[in-house]
Each structure stands twice: as C-alpha cells, then as structure tokens.
Amino acid sequence: MSNIKLILEYDGSRYNGWQRQTNTKNTIQGRIEHVLHLMTGEKIELHGAGRTDTGVHALGQVANFHTRNQMGLSEIEDYLHKYLPEDINLLDIREMPERFHSRLNAKGKNYLYRIWNHPFKKNIFNRGQYYHIRKPLNIEKMKQAAELFVGTKDFRSFTALKSKNKSTVRTISKIEILKKESEITLNFSGDGFLHKMVRVITGTIIQVGLGELSVSEVGEMFKKEKRSEAGFTAPPHALFLVKVIY
C-alpha cells in the first residue's frame, strides 16, 4: 500500500468547493478522486489539508491518498497532467510514510485575500480573482483592526460554524496587509482556520477600512461570541489557500 502526497493548485470558480458532496459531482475532491479511480481501478479517498469553500482558489493545496496500484510516481504524474480538468493542476507528487495525513499532520496554513481598490475595474480577465471595492479604504485603520485578531483567541464570532461542541479557539500568528497602488492584499498565517473564518475576518477589516466599523467595535466582537455581531463575509472569489505548513 502506497501513500501518495499531491500538491495542487486550482481555480475554484466553477466548483462547489473542495469537499465531495452527495448532491453534486462538481467538487474538486470529487473530480480528482474520479480521475484516480480511472487510473487505479480502486475506490480512492483523497484527503485534503483544507476544505476550501465554493469559489475559493488554491495555490498550494495538499492532499494524499492510499493505493495498491504499482504505478510509479512519474506515471501517476503523467496521468494526472493528462486527465485532470484544465483548472486543476498538479504541482508536486511524492510518496510519504504510511501514517502521513495531509490534514491531521498540518501545523498551519497561509491564506491570501486580494482587493482591487479603485473606482474602475482592474480588468475583465482578473475580475474572478479580486474583490473590487470602489470607495477608498483606510489602510492604517485596517492594520489596527488586523492586530486584534493576532494571537490565540476564541473566534466564535468570526465563523459560520454552528456546532457549539467544537472548539473555536485558534491561533493567528500574522495578518499582513500590503498595498501597491490600487492592489491590497491580506496575508493570513495561522495554525488552522474555521469555516469561513478568513472571509469573515476579511469582511470585518474591510468595514473598518470603509469607516463602517471602528477598531474598538471589532474588539467588542470577541466578547459577544455571536456571528451576527461581526462584519460581513467577504466574497470567496478573491481568496486563495497559499500554503500548508508541516
């Protein structure tokens, strides 16, 4: 039995997220598993490091699967390059120890959110990868708000997770906000992120940048522990899973 690790990039625009679902075949996990099934003749379960939402992209998603097939790594690589959809691409492949699990062994993740802050569109070809905000954003206020999220905290107000039994404590080590002309990027590093957590935090920071929320109001959101108290959920199309840390 071989344990194969894949590093993948994908454009999530036309998919219903990463996770396989019973009501649709249009998921990234499902599409890759189908190709692996055709390749090996086995029922393959692909484990992803992160369950990206509908419309979210990845620059470095990590996944692994077990197989009894005796194909070499170069043969698997050639097969996947040939048969994966054009918006899913294999970046790296290697064999791992039997117990390696892409999600359970992950120590952290990096995410990127892209904003185009200009009265006019960047261009029509990039519209699926940037969130276009016409009104000027106050970058300094956004940075002040971002600092409130750094550290080990309870992020219950900043997730769509409905379960009361699952811990919502996570550690964010850094949120870096960079501006280059009209392009603004938010770079997140942390040990793990809850359902829609990056997008809710991003939406909250954007509202501070627009003057719709104050920095002090963001601080109060942690105490209330209610999703309804936090900012809006930023659109998925501008979010990228950049890297998984092991």
Burial class (CB in 10 A: 0-12, 13-18, 19+), 19: middle
Q: Which of 53, 78, 87, 191 is catalytic?
A: 53
DSSP structural state of residue 12: -
Calculate ∠ Cα 81-83-85, nearest 5°.
90
Q: 55: Cβ–Cβ under 8 A, 6 or more apart, which residues?
A: 12, 13, 15, 17, 235, 236, 237
**Is 191 annotated in the active site?**
no
Burial class (CB in 10 A: 0-12, 13-18, 19+), 51: middle
Q: Which residues are catalytic?
A: 53
